[in-house]
Amino acid sequence: MKLNAERRADIVILQPVGRIDHQAAEAFSVALAPYLELCNASGERLLFDLSALDYISSAGLRVLMIATKRTKLVGGHLAVAAPQDMVREVLQITRFDLVFPVHASVADGIRAWSGDAGALTPDEN
Protein backbone atom coordinates (compact mmCIF):
# COMPACT_ATOMS: atom_id res chain seq x y z
CA MET A 1 0.00 0.00 0.00
CA LYS A 2 1.33 3.38 -1.06
CA LEU A 3 -0.42 6.77 -0.87
CA ASN A 4 0.48 9.38 -3.48
CA ALA A 5 -0.60 12.95 -2.84
CA GLU A 6 -0.96 15.89 -5.17
CA ARG A 7 -2.38 19.33 -4.44
CA ARG A 8 -4.55 21.22 -6.93
CA ALA A 9 -5.80 24.56 -5.60
CA ASP A 10 -7.63 23.70 -2.34
CA ILE A 11 -8.08 20.07 -3.30
CA VAL A 12 -5.69 17.35 -2.19
CA ILE A 13 -5.84 14.34 -4.46
CA LEU A 14 -4.84 11.19 -2.64
CA GLN A 15 -4.05 8.13 -4.67
CA PRO A 16 -3.78 4.82 -2.82
CA VAL A 17 -1.84 2.30 -4.86
CA GLY A 18 -2.20 -1.47 -4.70
CA ARG A 19 -4.21 -3.41 -2.14
CA ILE A 20 -5.60 -2.27 1.19
CA ASP A 21 -6.21 -5.60 2.87
CA HIS A 22 -6.67 -6.28 6.59
CA GLN A 23 -2.93 -6.00 7.17
CA ALA A 24 -2.47 -2.78 5.18
CA ALA A 25 -5.43 -0.89 6.62
CA GLU A 26 -3.43 0.43 9.54
CA ALA A 27 -0.66 1.77 7.29
CA PHE A 28 -3.35 3.42 5.16
CA SER A 29 -4.79 5.06 8.25
CA VAL A 30 -1.37 6.34 9.34
CA ALA A 31 -0.56 7.66 5.86
CA LEU A 32 -3.90 9.44 5.75
CA ALA A 33 -3.67 11.13 9.14
CA PRO A 34 -1.72 14.28 8.16
CA TYR A 35 -4.15 15.08 5.34
CA LEU A 36 -7.15 14.69 7.65
CA GLU A 37 -5.60 17.32 9.90
CA LEU A 38 -5.74 19.80 7.02
CA CYS A 39 -9.28 19.02 5.97
CA ASN A 40 -11.88 21.27 7.58
CA ALA A 41 -14.35 24.01 6.62
CA SER A 42 -11.66 26.48 5.63
CA GLY A 43 -9.02 23.96 4.63
CA GLU A 44 -8.39 21.44 1.95
CA ARG A 45 -10.86 19.05 0.41
CA LEU A 46 -9.86 15.41 0.04
CA LEU A 47 -10.46 13.62 -3.21
CA PHE A 48 -9.40 9.99 -3.38
CA ASP A 49 -8.28 8.91 -6.81
CA LEU A 50 -8.99 5.16 -6.68
CA SER A 51 -7.74 4.38 -10.18
CA ALA A 52 -4.65 2.55 -8.86
CA LEU A 53 -6.45 0.77 -6.04
CA ASP A 54 -6.76 -2.93 -6.85
CA TYR A 55 -8.59 -4.09 -3.74
CA ILE A 56 -9.97 -2.67 -0.52
CA SER A 57 -11.03 -4.80 2.44
CA SER A 58 -13.66 -3.96 5.03
CA ALA A 59 -10.83 -2.78 7.30
CA GLY A 60 -9.70 -0.34 4.60
CA LEU A 61 -13.25 0.87 4.08
CA ARG A 62 -13.54 1.42 7.81
CA VAL A 63 -10.57 3.81 7.58
CA LEU A 64 -12.45 5.74 4.89
CA MET A 65 -15.55 5.80 7.09
CA ILE A 66 -13.60 7.27 10.00
CA ALA A 67 -12.02 9.82 7.66
CA THR A 68 -15.47 10.79 6.35
CA LYS A 69 -16.92 11.19 9.82
CA ARG A 70 -13.96 13.29 10.90
CA THR A 71 -14.05 15.62 7.94
CA LYS A 72 -17.83 16.05 8.27
CA LEU A 73 -17.44 16.93 11.91
CA VAL A 74 -15.15 19.86 11.10
CA GLY A 75 -17.06 20.94 8.01
CA GLY A 76 -14.58 19.48 5.51
CA HIS A 77 -15.29 17.52 2.33
CA LEU A 78 -14.27 14.07 1.17
CA ALA A 79 -15.11 12.19 -2.01
CA VAL A 80 -13.74 9.35 -4.12
CA ALA A 81 -13.24 9.12 -7.86
CA ALA A 82 -12.29 6.77 -10.67
CA PRO A 83 -12.66 3.42 -8.91
CA GLN A 84 -11.78 0.33 -10.95
CA ASP A 85 -14.80 -1.86 -11.76
CA MET A 86 -14.24 -4.22 -8.87
CA VAL A 87 -13.78 -1.50 -6.26
CA ARG A 88 -16.79 0.38 -7.65
CA GLU A 89 -18.92 -2.73 -7.14
CA VAL A 90 -17.50 -3.24 -3.66
CA LEU A 91 -18.53 0.32 -2.78
CA GLN A 92 -22.08 -0.46 -3.94
CA ILE A 93 -22.39 -3.80 -2.15
CA THR A 94 -21.03 -2.40 1.12
CA ARG A 95 -23.32 0.68 0.75
CA PHE A 96 -20.27 2.95 0.92
CA ASP A 97 -21.60 4.66 -2.19
CA LEU A 98 -24.11 6.23 0.21
CA VAL A 99 -21.36 7.37 2.58
CA PHE A 100 -19.45 9.68 0.23
CA PRO A 101 -19.85 10.81 -3.39
CA VAL A 102 -18.34 8.39 -5.91
CA HIS A 103 -17.31 10.17 -9.12
CA ALA A 104 -16.51 8.46 -12.39
CA SER A 105 -13.30 10.45 -12.83
CA VAL A 106 -11.01 12.76 -10.88
CA ALA A 107 -12.07 15.63 -13.16
CA ASP A 108 -15.73 14.96 -12.33
CA GLY A 109 -14.87 15.04 -8.65
CA ILE A 110 -13.10 18.36 -8.93
CA ARG A 111 -15.92 19.87 -10.98
CA ALA A 112 -18.56 18.68 -8.55
CA TRP A 113 -16.91 20.74 -5.79
CA SER A 114 -15.79 23.89 -7.44
CA GLY A 115 -17.26 24.14 -10.88
CA ASP A 116 -14.04 26.01 -10.87
CA ALA A 117 -11.57 25.25 -13.59
CA GLY A 118 -8.65 26.31 -11.41
CA ALA A 119 -7.98 22.82 -10.14
CA LEU A 120 -8.33 21.10 -13.51
CA THR A 121 -5.38 20.38 -15.75
CA PRO A 122 -5.67 21.59 -19.40
CA ASP A 123 -6.73 18.17 -20.70
CA GLU A 124 -9.36 17.81 -18.00
CA ASN A 125 -11.01 21.12 -18.92
Partner 1 sequence: MNKVAAALHAANGRRFDNVEAARSYATTLPFAISGTFGGHSSCVELEITPPSAASHEYFLCDLGSGVRPFGSQVIARHGVHAPNTFHVFISHMHWDHIMGFPLFAPSYLPGNELRIYGCHRDLEAAFRRQHGSPSFPVEFDQLGASIKFFTLTPDTTHHIAGVNVTPILQLHAGDSYGYRFEYNDKIVVYSTDSEHKLNAPAATERFVDFLRDADLVIFDAMYSLADAVSVKEDWGHSSNVVGVELCQLAGAKHLVLFHHEPIFDDARIAAVEAESRRFETITRRVYRALEITAAYDGLEMEL
| Residue 108 CB neighbour total at 10 angstroms | 16
Among positions 41-80, residues that touch partner 1 (CB under 8 A) are 55, 57-59, 61-62, 65, 69
Cα 44 from Cα 28, distance rounded (Å): 19
Q: Smallest distance, Å, CB 24 to partner 1?
A: 9
Number of H helices, E strands in the chain: 4, 6
Among positions 74-113, residues that touch partner 1 (CB under 8 A) are 86, 89-90, 93-96, 98-99
Q: 18 in helix, strand or coil?
A: strand
In the complex, the residues that contact partner 1 under the rule CB under 8 A are 22-23, 25-26, 55, 57-59, 61-62, 65, 69, 86, 89-90, 93-96, 98-99
